[in-house]
Structure 1
Amino acid sequence: MKHHVKRNVMIWLLATLLLMPSLFALTSKESAMSIDLAGKQHILIQRMVNDLQLISKGIDTKNSRADLLLSAKEFETILHGLQKGDKSLHLQATKLPAIKKELQKGERLWKEIKPSMRKPPENPKLLTEMISRLKMLQVTMDKVVKKYEKSIQREKQALALSSLVKSFMKQKKSENHVVNLAGKQRMLTQKMTKLALLVTLGIDKEANKKRLQQAAALYAKTLEGFAKGDSALGLEAAKSPEVVAYLKEVNAAWKPFSQNIQKIIGSGGKDTKALGYVVRHNEALLKKSHHLVQLFKKSGGKKSFMEKARLNIVDIAGRQRMLTQKMTKEKLLILAKVSPKQNDKKLHETIGQFDSALKMLVAGDASHRIPKPSNAKMIAQLRRVSGLWEKLKPIYLQKKTGKKALSAIVQGNPVLLKEMNKAVHISEVVADY
């Protein structure tokens, strides 16, 4: 596993680093794209292996078969493009004999495997053999990337590459981390509103007052960290003029919201005017916090397919945290008889959004640049989240919520948030998603 992770990190790094022609003297954009797409083949093969395993176990067979065929089609298109060129993919046919040889080997293996894609074998032995051949193909495609790497002028560039790799890893980790924390701000707007309602309703009042104070302090600290930098949070001061300007706008919305949160804490939930302000304005602050996430995603220059995919995963997984808090807030507003019809409609929409995004993270979604996960930790964590959600969802959907159901939500929601946060962290830091 460690060997594969290291190899995947190198594939990913090279795919991006080689987009800098001034340093590596690439002859064209197509040369860089060849490496990027050759690296992508590794992921496509892993998706095919995962789909075959799911099909063999009878798990989500319809979607798995559809995903298998899509991955196979994309793999074949890239394979042919690397050999013969493809204008739509910005690929030139390779002229390097060593790479040609490996691609021809890959073509032969693919021709043996392809006929079974439409109807995978039911015999376990034949299926195992098919997966084994796919892994052989994966090794071959990894060699293609290595051959491209060796075609670069290495002597004078070795030290520069080493330095750039370290710089690149730091930059990419930083970008994912910033998007993670910006996404967490979305969640905190809804968590604060949820906790304000719990304090007002007298549910575990003292503990929830403390949690509300902590959530407000974290939102303020992170917002300031984006503007000025914060080593404890791992943040550098934002440099993008667009982000810097928008942070002032977010801060302007946060100031009165924060003041009313403090009034709720100080009054022990008796200041209904302050609660009214929070209920009316929390989604405006959420909207601004969400827009800040999108600005951070756009900053930092041009990004490769894999970089965009990773940021989208961190964003969407991070958004799930917010939805766990938003649905609880809406359930509490219904129980408090605050615009019950409107909040019931919102609750169903929020549940639907959480449902569809969770399925997207589990199965992948090409339209949102979300690859199907192949990392064992991520797969296991998403299963844990799915298991918790399966138990909580029916309770959220209950028309009449008694004390027992309310207790299940109040106790289960923080656990769901915690497990979803673990998934976000994994998506931020793992090399091989």
Structure 2
Amino acid sequence: MYCMPGRIKRLGIFFLMTVSLVAADIQSPEEAVDIAGKQRMYTQRMLKDYAMVGMGNTFGDPGKDLQKTIDEFTDHLASLKVYAKKDTTKKSLDEIESLWKPLQKTLQETPDISKAGKLQEDLEVLLKAADTATKYFAEESGKASGEIVNLAGRQRMLSQRMASLYMLKVWGVKDPRFKTKLDDALTLFKTSLEKLERSPLNNDEINTLLAKVKRSFVFFEMMNRSNSKFVPTLIYKKSDDILKNMNSVTQLYVKSESK
């Protein structure tokens, strides 16, 4: 369809305005750390949804959630690119963008178990790149709270990582490294949770939420020790319970330090 140059120009201006409006939502360095940290979580949530769709499990409407997460990852990346100040941070976001484009295409195709192992590896590379960018934003904040927001935000990612690795196992994807990766995720989650429980920034609300997270995490520890297979819907729900509560904790840290 023919599109007049004037219309293209107007669309271009509209796009820039839209990106600017998204970026304007970032009101503080802590919020930038929070949003950058969410990108880490999205890499693992997309993998979890991909596996659920591949298995034909409709609990939580994973197909719809997958597309929503793809869109949010793209929008957040645009927002962070506008907000980033230092060259090192900008360069890390450019790397994320180059990794993201081919993955975005794969994730929107019909899930294929033969591609799931490679997808997991590629999303792990994207995860590491997103983690690097988050650390740069934490450094830019210049506050100890930036690191706490980073740590709390990473728990959101780990909740989805534990679930996605287990989903791939249930789906039938064979990878001898999955057990080690899951063990590492569980260990990191537990030690990070202990650090958060000792944070001087905590208040009663944060402590209550962390206690709920701790109770949900016990389920994953039991799952990892058991030889029985847990149903995917239970894994999905428990991981989302942790995600919801850790997201609230992260937002409370951001709010307390952005005043």
Superposed pair shares fold, TM > 0.5: yes
> What aligned pairs does 1:205-224 form with structure 2 within 5 A after superposition?
207-224=61-78
Q: Could you tell me how far apart the structure 2 residues matched to 1:286 and 1:420 are? A: 18
Native 8 Å contact 1:260 1:275 kept in 2: no
> What aligned pairs does 1:18-417 form with structure 2 within 5 A after superposition?
174-204=28-58, 207-228=61-82, 237-263=83-109, 267=110, 269=111, 271-272=112-113, 274-299=115-140, 303=142, 307-308=143-144, 310-362=145-197, 364=198, 371-403=199-231, 406-417=232-243
Q: What amino acid sits opposite 2:167 in the alignment?
A: L
Q: Could you tell me how far apart the structure 2 residues matched to 1:328 and 1:250 are? A: 23
What is the DSSP-based 3-state SS (H/G/I as helix, E as strand, rest coil) of the residue aligned with 2:28? helix
Q: What amino acid sits opposite 1:411 in the alignment?
A: K
Are positions 1:429 and 2:252 aligned together?
A: no
Identity between Structure 1 and Structure 2 (%): 25
Q: Could you tell me how far apart the structure 1 residues matched to 2:202 and 2:236 are? A: 33
Q: CA deviation at 1:272?
A: 4.3
Q: Could you tell me how far apart the structure 2 residues matched to 1:388 and 1:208 are? A: 21
Q: Could you tell me how far apart the structure 1 residues matched to 2:88 and 2:257 are? A: 30
Native 8 Å contact 2:44 2:164 kept in 1: yes
Q: Could you tell me how far apart the structure 2 residues matched to 1:374 and 1:251 are? A: 35
Q: Could you tell me how far apart the structure 2 residues matched to 1:284 and 1:226 are? A: 19
Native 8 Å contact 1:195 1:211 kept in 2: yes
Q: How high is the TM-score relative to the length of structure 1?
A: 0.51
What is the DSSP-based 3-state SS (H/G/I as helix, E as strand, rest coil) of the residue aligned with 2:66? helix
Q: What amino acid sits opposite 1:430 in the alignment?
A: S
Q: CA deviation at 1:396?
A: 3.9
Q: Could you tell me how far apart the structure 1 residues matched to 2:242 and 2:251 are? A: 14
Q: What amino acid sits opposite 1:351 in the alignment?
A: L
Deviations 1:319-344 (A, max 9, x none): 00000010111112222332343101
Q: CA deviation at 1:409?
A: 1.3
Query: Do the aligned partners of residues 290 and 216 (structure 1) sit closer, same or farther apart at CA in structure 2, a change above 3 Å counting?
Result: same
Query: Do the aligned partners of residues 402 and 424 (structure 1) sit closer, same or farther apart at CA in structure 2, a change above 3 Å counting?
Result: closer
Select the structure with the greater relative contact order (CA < 8 A; seq sep ≥ 6): 2
Q: CA deviation at 1:246?
A: 2.1
What is the DSSP-based 3-state SS (H/G/I as helix, E as strand, rest coil) of the residue aligned with 1:401? coil
Native 8 Å contact 1:185 1:219 kept in 2: yes
Native 8 Å contact 1:330 1:343 kept in 2: yes
Instruction: Identify the residue that residue 17 of structure 2 maps to in structure 1.
Output: none
Q: Could you tell me how far apart the structure 1 residues matched to 2:164 and 2:33 are? A: 24
Structure of greater Rg: 1
Deviations 1:367-403 (A, max 9, x none): xxxx344411111111121122224431243222144
Query: Do the aligned partners of residues 176 and 352 (structure 1) sit closer, same or farther apart at CA in structure 2, a change above 3 Å counting?
Result: same
Alpha-carbon RMSD across the aligned residues, in angstroms, is: 2.2
Q: What amino acid sits opposite 2:255 in the alignment?
A: V
Native 8 Å contact 2:139 2:146 kept in 1: no
Deviations 1:160-189 (A, max 9, x none): xxxxxxxxxxxx960100001100100000
Native 8 Å contact 2:59 2:233 kept in 1: no
Q: Could you tell me how far apart the structure 2 residues matched to 1:335 and 1:199 are? A: 13
Q: What amino acid sits opposite 2:135 in the alignment?
A: Q
Q: What amino acid sits opposite 2:165 in the alignment?
A: E
Q: What amino acid sits opposite 1:257 in the alignment?
A: L
* Matched residues, number: 233
Query: Structure 2: where are the runs of 5+ without partners?
Result: 1-25
Q: What amino acid sits opposite 2:106 in the alignment?
A: N
Deviations 1:11-61 (A, max 9, x none): xxxxxxxxxxxxxxxxxxxxxxxxxxxxxxxxxxxxxxxxxxxxxxxxxxx
Q: CA deviation at 1:290?
A: 0.3
Q: How high is the TM-score relative to the length of structure 2?
A: 0.83
Q: CA deviation at 1:241?
A: 1.7
Query: Structure 1: where are the runs of 5+ without partners?
Result: 1-171, 229-236, 365-370
Native 8 Å contact 2:33 2:137 kept in 1: yes
Q: CA deviation at 1:251?
A: 0.3
Q: CA deviation at 1:219?
A: 0.3
